[in-house]
Every structure is written in structure tokens, then in C-alpha cells.
Amino acid sequence: MKEWMEGGGAEMSVDFYTDVSKLPRARYLQLVTSIKLLDPAIIRSNEPEEVLTFTYEEPLGERFIIPWRKVKAKLRRLVAERGRDLGYGVDCFLKESLCMACPTCLLFGGTGETSTAKVDYNLMSRVLGETFISRNRGVEPWNYTANAVGEVKHTTGQALMTLITVPADTEFIGVITLKDPTPEMAALLVDGIERLTRIGARSIEWGRCKMDILGGGIFDREKYAAYELLREDELSKVSPLKLNLPDVGKSFKKLQSEMDKLVKSVKASGD
């Protein structure tokens, strides 16, 4: 599949890489994405009575934000979930039980010595991210007060708490970057993006959302950033992106084969 890469003052068509590489190269697949809340969501760091915002310089001002680590963890779980369903990485779990040998670990990385695999190599994540920033500002958080009724006295004197949530209809913009992309790695990542339907804490009852890919491309550098797209009001200028990606099942199979070769090579080099 061909995309367009800008560099050196000229444009040239390039293909995805066809195999994984141990050495980073100058090629980035960027996916400009949106997460629209269909339901209030709890986006916080620690305390229940907290909602994550950040005040940028004008014209952005104060915005709701979602740290990248929260989106990445969700995507990793979704890709691993799909992999286990297909028979790959069945014993690989965040975060203490990374197997360091499955396609999900190849895509999202891991630290060998602290995983249950106890291997002497680390994997750098090929999926790069950034803070997701709300498209609009000036929206008040939504307060939810929960009162549990006691079974004996039938009063509401227990389990009183207040949750501050990001309101429904809030839309976040973020850019997800795949370093040194192959069609198979992109297929796994896009499948995870398309299946992300909940975000934030207490997602059993809150945080229904819809995640879409707005556009993007393959470049010789990271071209897009949510901060600049929103500050310059340039979302409409993002290149449309139509990806003709391989089947997810076949992608897992090919990546597992390549991962097996990489692990074998690493172990042989340590002998």
C-alpha cells in the first residue's frame, strides 16, 4: 500500500515497511483521532473529586485533557484481548505479566526484567502518543452525588460521595503515531482504535465513547500534533486517510512469526 511522504521539499510515494526492524527508521504513520463522549466520563488522576484540565496559552485556554497513558493502556488491553481470542499472547497481561514475545508486546513494548518473562531485553513501544485535548473549552464539569440507602434504617447516611465527570458530548482530539509501520502492525492498532468504546475510571457504568480516525498519513517526521491542530484551527486541513489494511487474524499470525525470529535472534546474540 502506498502513502505520501513529505521531505526534502518534495513529495514521494512510499510503501509501508514489509517486516519489523530492530533499528528505528524515519517513517511515521500518524492517525489524527477523536474521542467523543456518549456518556459522562471520569477522567481523573487520583482523587474522586477531581477532573483533569489544563490551562494552555490563548487561544486554547482551559481544556479537559486525557493523558496518553490512559488511552495507550486501553488500546493495549483491546489489542491483547483480540490476540488472546485468536490464540496469541494467551498468558500476556498488563502490567506484571507481559510475555515479551507476542504481537501485542511487539507493538506496545515492555520491560523484560520486571515482567514475569524475566528476559534480559526490553521492547520499545512503536506506538507513540500525546495528551488528548478537548475540542472546546468553557464546559462545566458535571457533578454526580451518590447516596446509598442503608438496608436496616432505610436512610442515606452511608456511602455518600460526589463524582466530578467530564460531560457527555465532549470531544477530544489526539494524534497516535506508529513508528516504522508495517501493514500488519497498523491493522492491529486500527482494530483497537475502532473497538475503543469506553474510557476513564469506573468504565463499567460511565465513559461510553466513540473513537474515530479523522485522517493522517505516513511522513518522515511527526507532522501532526493535537495542540497545534486546535490552536491553529486546522483540523479541516488534515489529509484524508483510507487504509487498505490486511485481515487482523492474518496480521497476528505474520507478526507472531516475525516476533519469534526476533526473540530467537536476541537470545542467540546473548549466548
Calculate helix-pair angle for 68-85, 248-269, nearest 10 degrees: 100
Does position 178 have pLDDT exceeding 90, yes or no? yes
| pLDDT digit string, tens, across residues 122-139 | 899 999 999 999 998 866
Burial class (CB in 10 A: 0-12, 13-18, 19+), 182: buried
Which residues make Cβ contacts (< 8 Å) with residue 76, sequence separation at least 6? 94, 104, 108, 192
With cut-offs at 50, 70 and 90, classify the pLDDT of residue 13: very low
DSSP letters, 198-257, are B-SBSTTTS-BEEEEEEEEEEESS----HHHHHHTT-GGGSPP----PPPHHHHHHHHHH
H-run or E-run covering 86:
none
**Residue 16 DSSP code:** P
pLDDT at residue number 15: 74
| pLDDT digit string, tens, across residues 203-259 | 788 889 999 999 999 999 999 999 999 999 999 999 998 888 999 999 999 999 999
% pLDDT > 90, the chain:
58
pLDDT at residue number 189: 98
Please provide the average confidence, as pLDDT, over all residues in the chain. 86
With cut-offs at 50, 70 and 90, classify the pLDDT of residue 11: very low
pLDDT at residue number 5: 45
- Bigger pLDDT: 161 or 72? 72
Q: Rounded to an integer, what distance in angstroms lies between the CA atom of residue 196 and that of residue 201?
A: 14
- Bigger pLDDT: 125 or 4? 125
Only one residue has cell 518534495, namely 10
Does position 1 have pLDDT exceeding 90, yes or no? no
With cut-offs at 50, 70 and 90, classify the pLDDT of residue 7: very low
